[in-house]
Amino acid sequence: MASRTRQMLGTIITRFAGKSANFLVFAIMARALTVPDLGIYGFVFTTCLLFATLFDVGIRNSVANFIGKDEARAADYTRQSLLLLVVLAVLCALFTPAIYSLQKLDVPLSSLALPAMVNAVALLTIRMQQGILLGLGDIKYFNTTELAPRVVLLAGAVALLLAGAITLSSALWLLALSNLAGAVSVVIGTIPKARGGSLSDLTPAKALLKRGFLFMLGVVAMLAAKQIAFLILTQIGSEGQAGLFYGLRRLTEILTEIGLAVSVVLFSQNVRAASREEALEAATHSTRISFWFFVALSVIAAVTAPVLVPLALGPDFAGYTGLFRILLLGTLIGTIWIIIYPSMTAIDSPLVAFLIFLPNLAIGSALTWWLFHAHGLIGAGVAMAISQLLLSLSFLGVFWLRYGVSPGDFLVLRKSDLGGVGGKLRRKFARKSGKDKKGSGS
C-alpha cells in the first residue's frame, strides 16, 4: 500500500508539473493565436493522438501486460515491439497527411501535413515504448519520459513568444519537435532492455498484435469518448466556435490528465498484481483519494472562473465562464471512468471496455449534434457533461455487477484512506524534527 501510494503521489506530482508546463504553453498559444487558429491547433492536437493510438494497435497495453506477467521474457517482448514500431511508424506517417487532405480547413494542407506527420509518429513511438516501462514497473523513468517533451515545449513556447514568432505553423512545429524529444528519451531508455531478445522467434510479436488489437479498440474509443463533443463540433460548427470550445475544455483537462496519471500507475501495478482482488483494492483505494482531490480543485476553479478564464486564455474567452463551469463539471465527472478504465483492461478482456464505450459514443455524438443546433456552444457543453456522466455510471455499474465492487467503494472515503496520508505526514514531520534536534544539540 505504501509503495503504491508513493508511486501514485510521485506520478501526480510529475504529471502535475508536466501538465502545468502544458498549461502555460496552452495559455501562451491561446493568447497569441486567433480563436479560429486555436481551433485548428486543437484539431491537430486531438487527431494526432487518435492516429498514434490507432497505429499503436494496442501494443502499449499488451506489451505492459505480457512483461508484467512474464518479466523473464521482457527482452523478447521489447525487441519485438521495437521491430513492430518501425513498420507501424511508416504506416502512420503515410496515413496522417492523407486524412488531413480530406478536411476543409482555412489553411493550406502543406502547412499542416508535415508537422502533423512528425507529431503523430513521435506520439506513436512514445506510446509503444512506454508500455515496456509500465510492464517493468519503472514508473520513475516513465515519469521522466512524460516530463521531457513538456520541458522542451515550454522552453520553445517562451522563446517563440519573446521573438514574437508565434503563428499556427510555428506552434504546430513546436508541438511536433517537443514530442520528438520525448520519443528520443523513451527509446534511449528502452533499447538497452532489448538486449538478448530473440529476433527469429516471432511468437511475442504475434501475441502482442493479437491481444493489442483488442486494447486498441478500447483505447481509441476511450480517446474519442473524451473528445467526442469537440470532434463533432469541428465538423458542424465554425473554426471560431471550435477554438472557443477547445480552449475552455483544455483548461479543464488538467484535472482529467492528472486522473489519467493515477490510472497509469494503477495499470502498471495491476498487470503485476497477484490476484484480481488485489487489483480491485488498488483501483478503489486510489480512485477514492484522487476523486475528492479533484473535487476540491474543481470547486476552486469554478469559484474563481471569472478571473481564471480571461487570465489564462485571454479576453476573447472572458464572456464564457458559464460554459467553462459546465465543461469543468463534465471533466470532474469523467475523472471517475478515466481512472478506473485501465484497471478494467488489466483484470478483464479489453473488449469489455470497448463495449461500454460504443453505445456511449453514439449517444454523445447524437447529443452534441442535437444540443449544439438547439443551444449553440452551451448545448455542446451540456452534451459533453451528460456523456461523461453516462460513461462514469456505465463503468461503475459494470464494476458492481461484474466484479462485485459497489460505487461507494470507489467514491466514499474511508478512515484508513485519510489515516494513511496523515500517518505519512506525521512520520515525515517526526524525522525532520529529529534531525533539527540533532543539529541544535551539536
| 3-state SS assignment for residue 42 | helix
DSSP state of 18: H
Sequence letter at residue 43: F
Neighbours of 397 (CB within 10 A): 12
Q: Is the dihedral of CA 195, 201, 206, 207 positive or negative?
A: negative
- What is the grid cell recorded at 5? 501510494
DSSP-derived secondary structure for 276-311: HHHHHHHHHHHHHHHHHHHHHHHHHHHHTHHHHHHH
| 3-state SS assignment for residue 238 | coil
H or E element in which residue 124 lies: helix 109-136
From first to last of its 442 residues, what are the pLDDT tens digits of the chain? 555 555 556 556 666 677 778 778 988 999 999 999 999 999 999 999 999 999 999 898 888 888 888 777 888 888 888 889 999 999 999 999 998 888 777 777 778 889 999 999 999 999 999 989 888 888 778 888 888 899 999 999 999 999 999 999 999 999 999 999 999 999 998 888 777 666 667 778 888 888 888 878 888 898 899 899 999 999 999 999 999 999 999 999 875 665 555 555 555 555 555 566 766 777 787 778 778 878 888 899 999 999 999 998 999 999 999 999 999 999 999 989 988 887 787 778 878 989 999 999 999 999 999 999 999 999 999 999 999 999 999 999 999 999 888 999 888 888 766 654 444 444 544 554 555 555 555 4
What is the Cα–Cα distance from 116 to 120, expressed in whole angstroms? 6
Contact 388, 330 (CB under 8 A): yes
Helix, strand, coil % over all residues of the chain, rounded to 5: 90, 0, 10
What dihedral angle (degrees, nearest 10) is formed by the CA atoms of 339, 340, 341, 342? 80
